[in-house]
A and B are shown apart, each in its own frame.
Chain A
Amino acid sequence: MSTRILAVEDDERIRTAVKLALEDEGWVVAEASTGEDALTSFQREPADVVLIDIMLPGIDGFEVCRSIRRISDVPIVMVTARADTHDVVAGLEAGADDYLTKPFAPKELSARIRALLRRARTSEVSSPHLRFGDLEIVPEEGVVRRNGRDVHLTKTEFRVLVELAQSPGRVFSREVLLERIWGYGYFGDGRLVDVHVRRLRTKVEADPANPRHVVTVRGLGYKLQV
């Protein structure tokens, strides 16, 4: 079955051009021009990746993002107007996995989508059962349990946790995590890591404000506390 991408964009011309470009990559592209359409379409037939323009008439991109997150851990790429606005952080907190700013080259979009798909599919690395205090990670099954109960993580959050857990105690810089998980080089946006770590903590930490597992090493990055 071929990869299915849901593109949510209100500008018909952009939507059509992006659809053509993505179809050249061999993907199936479903279109939606409003947030409402997007949610209906996603519920009818889930996609493998969702592309959402933040600026939508009716319910906005952030809300679409949150609504999809409630029912799925599908990778979401959002499109914002500017990289240096609060939109980026707001979108990531709403559950997006990555972002692009307009105007972007379709090649860049395909690269992002491929990185997300790879992440979504290769999270089944054969790793033994990992245990850190109250936290239990089963990479093979893609499962994380805290105090024996399943914790629901998105695929990207899961990859961040597994990346840290495979070398417990080692400090990972933002750049390294950006490269390993998002496929960015040195110039990835460190906020991607920061927001994902923040979201991860709300799920795996007893007290997210005083993390015991995923800790910050000032000036260097993050590590998983043994």
Chain B
Amino acid sequence: MRPLRLTRRLGLRARITLAFAVGALLLSALLSATTWALTRENLLHQRENSATVVVYRNAGFVQQQLAPNTDVLRLVSNLATPLGAHPSVYFDGEYTPLTTEFGKDALPSALREAVLSGQPARMRFELRGEMQLAVGIPIPSASAAYFEIIPLNDIESTLDALGVSLVGASMVTTLAGAALGWWAARRALRPLSGVSTAAMALAAGRLDTRLEASEDPDLRPIAASFNDMAQALQDRIERDARFASDVSHELRSPLMTLAASIEVMDNQRDDLTDRARAALDLMVGDVVRFQQLVEDLLEISRFDAGVVRLELEEVHLAELVMQAVSHSTEADVPVELDAELAGVVVQADKRRIVRVIANLLDNAAKYAGGATSVSLRGVEGGVQIAVEDRGDGVPEEDRALIFDRFNRGGAAGRRGRSDGVGLGLALVAEHVNLHGGEVWVEDRADGTAGARFVVRLPVEEQE
């Protein structure tokens, strides 16, 4: 199962490359092996034939010279043999080799038997680790035989050299195959990487991303269906965004009438019965909530529609934070200011920063028993505003979700407070992102229970 898992883990490109490399390796190995085998046979054959011719000639010479009193050793040493060949003569039941080591014992017994029974023979064999050729010619007229051992090791070394070059060529071919595979895979996958880039762009919110129409008949349907999908997605998202915005817009007129009418009634509250007054109070409270919800929905639907832009102005940062806190629902929270930031003026959208601080304090008041401190510190490349509260903190798994719309967090749900709207933190995230900053929640730095909401804003300082 293991190799299967490996291939499954490999990418498509790697697999194509691997297939090309293995194919090239097999093919070149087959070709090399065939070449090597054919060359070897050919070389040996040639050598055997030429050696055999010489051996016959020498055998003829021996036949002529051989007489009962002949000095056989002298006769053997007078033979003209090729370099490295070892002749020996069998005569009178005795072997007389030129070199002692290449006598009777060196010759394969099968060859000897065949030759002594009157049959010329030749045979390849191995002696002392080297390939040798033995040729034997019977000389029936003198009941003798002529033998010669010819070394084939020079052919062996030629074949070794050939083998090395063939292995080298195979490796180069394999690498070339892999390179070809990689290139082919890249070419084949290039349209796919275009699709993936486009899909990532879509996911990142650039809804007008489309693939270029392709000439390739294999790719055209993919591009077309991808673009159809992107269009459908864009339409859908825009429709949803428009719907939220339209609904909120439509809600504003009746809300306006309601708010004004309730105020008129409230002016006459002394003339009302206790029951009517209680009902009026409920209405007043909920119209305020309703108004906040519509405002938040409108604000967030503008983010969705992508029509928001920063209204940058020069803002005295420390003063902005102080003012935002003192006008919030948590006006008494102590504010800690970094001395370095006194007098620093930055470009920011005042309204949005104020909303960020107000919403964070509101969140602390509603779900965490109130804020304990607000701090403004300079950090590298920007400033950091942190709001700490005295609640139970936010569990690790909720920390990203808490900035989602209409998510009031598990803890808030348990406590059963329902006067929050659930868009506050989502809007904080949107406002902060619009400024190019980030917001997150963590544990309080001093180790006590409670959450610490941190907003980091990049700022370009004014002189």
A53 → B minimal CB distance (Å):
10
Given A81-B249, A186-B323, A219-B462; A103-B256 close (CB under 8 Å): yes
Contacts A/B (CB < 8 Å), 27 sampled: A11-B256, A13-B254, A14-B253, A17-B256, A17-B257, A20-B260, A21-B263, A24-B267, A82-B298, A84-B302, A84-B311, A102-B253, A102-B256, A103-B252, A103-B255, A103-B294, A104-B256, A104-B259, A106-B260, A106-B264, A186-B323, A187-B327, A187-B354, A189-B351, A218-B314, A219-B345, A219-B462
* Residue from B256, B258, B261, B345 with most neighbouring chain A CB atoms (10 Å): B256
* Residue from B253, B259, B308, B351 with most neighbouring chain A CB atoms (10 Å): B259
Q: Which chain A residues numbered 71 to 113 have a C-beta less than 8 Å away from chain B? A: 81-84, 102-107
Given A17-B258, A20-B264, A185-B327, list of 12 further CB < 8 A pairs? Answer: A13-B254, A20-B261, A21-B263, A24-B267, A84-B309, A102-B253, A104-B259, A106-B263, A185-B323, A187-B323, A187-B351, A219-B462
A105 to B262, CA, bound (A): 10
Whether a CB of chain A sits under 8 angstroms from the CB of B235 is no
Number of interface residues of B (CB under 8 A): 31
Given A84-B311, A185-B327, A187-B354; A11-B253 close (CB under 8 Å): yes
Whether a CB of chain A sits under 8 angstroms from the CB of B291 is yes
Q: Which residue of A lies closest to B319 (CB)?
A: A186
B263 and A105 form a contact (CB under 8 A)? yes
**What are the residues of chain B within 8 A of A17 when measuring CB–CB?**
256-261, 264
Q: Which residue of B lies closest to A85 (CB)?
A: B307
Whether a CB of chain B sits under 8 angstroms from the CB of A30 is no
A118 to B237, CA, bound (A): 49
**What are the residues of chain B within 8 A of A21 when measuring CB–CB?**
260, 263-264, 267
Whether a CB of chain A sits under 8 angstroms from the CB of B212 is no
A84 to B303, CA, bound (A): 12
Q: Which residue of A lies closest to B261 (CB)?
A: A17
Given A17-B260, A17-B261, A20-B264; A219-B314 close (CB under 8 Å): yes
Q: Which residue of B lies closest to A21 (CB)?
A: B260
B259 and A105 form a contact (CB under 8 A)? yes
Whether a CB of chain B sits under 8 angstroms from the CB of A190 is yes
Whether a CB of chain A sits under 8 angstroms from the CB of B313 is yes
**What are the residues of chain A within 8 A of B259 when measuring CB–CB?**
17, 103-106
Total CB contacts across the A-B interface at under 8 A: 76
Interface SS of A by simple majority = loop
A84 to B355, CA, bound (A): 14
**What are the residues of chain A within 8 A of B311 when measuring CB–CB?**
84, 191
**What are the residues of chain A within 8 A of B327 when measuring CB–CB?**
185-187
Whether a CB of chain B sits under 8 angstroms from the CB of A197 is no
**What are the residues of chain A within 8 A of B308 when measuring CB–CB?**
84
Whether a CB of chain B sits under 8 angstroms from the CB of A115 is no
**What are the residues of chain A within 8 A of B252 when measuring CB–CB?**
102-103
B354 and A14 form a contact (CB under 8 A)? no
Q: Which chain B residues numbered 203 to 259 have a C-beta less than 8 Å away from chain A? A: 249, 252-259
**What are the residues of chain B within 8 A of A14 when measuring CB–CB?**
253, 256-257, 260
A16 to B264, CA, bound (A): 11
**What are the residues of chain A within 8 A of B302 when measuring CB–CB?**
82, 84
**What are the residues of chain A within 8 A of B323 when measuring CB–CB?**
185-187
Q: Which chain A residues numbered 159 to 190 have a C-beta less than 8 Å away from chain B? A: 185-187, 189-190
* Residue from B255, B261, B319, B354 with most neighbouring chain A CB atoms (10 Å): B261
A24 and B264 form a contact (CB under 8 A)? yes
Whether a CB of chain B sits under 8 angstroms from the CB of A18 is yes
**What are the residues of chain B within 8 A of A107 when measuring CB–CB?**
263
1/0 per residue, CB under 8 A from B, across A119-145: the answer is 000000000000000000000000000
**What are the residues of chain A within 8 A of B257 when measuring CB–CB?**
11, 13-14, 16-17
Whether a CB of chain A sits under 8 angstroms from the CB of B112 is no
A42 to B335, CA, bound (A): 51
1/0 per residue, CB under 8 A from B, across A15-36: the answer is 0111011001000000000000
**What are the residues of chain A within 8 A of B298 when measuring CB–CB?**
82
A103 and B291 form a contact (CB under 8 A)? yes
Whether a CB of chain A sits under 8 angstroms from the CB of B350 is yes
Q: Which chain B residues numbered 280 to 316 have a C-beta less than 8 Å away from chain A? A: 291, 294, 298, 302, 308-309, 311, 313-314
A16 to B345, CA, bound (A): 45
A168 to B314, CA, bound (A): 23
A120 → B minimal CB distance (Å):
24
B433 → A minimal CB distance (Å):
16
A36 to B302, CA, bound (A): 32
Q: Which residue of B lies closest to A83 (CB)?
A: B351
Given A103-B294, A186-B327; A84-B256 close (CB under 8 Å): no
**What are the residues of chain B within 8 A of A191 when measuring CB–CB?**
311
A57 → B minimal CB distance (Å):
14
**What are the residues of chain B within 8 A of A11 when measuring CB–CB?**
253, 256-257
**What are the residues of chain A within 8 A of B263 when measuring CB–CB?**
21, 24, 105-107
Instruction: Identify the 6 closest CB pairs spanning chains A and B, nearest first.
Output: A17-B260, A103-B256, A186-B323, A13-B257, A20-B264, A17-B257
A186 to B327, CA, bound (A): 9
1/0 per residue, CB under 8 A from B, across A201-226: the answer is 00000000000000000110000000
B392 → A minimal CB distance (Å):
32
**What are the residues of chain B within 8 A of A185 when measuring CB–CB?**
323, 327
A202 to B327, CA, bound (A): 36
**What are the residues of chain A within 8 A of B309 when measuring CB–CB?**
84
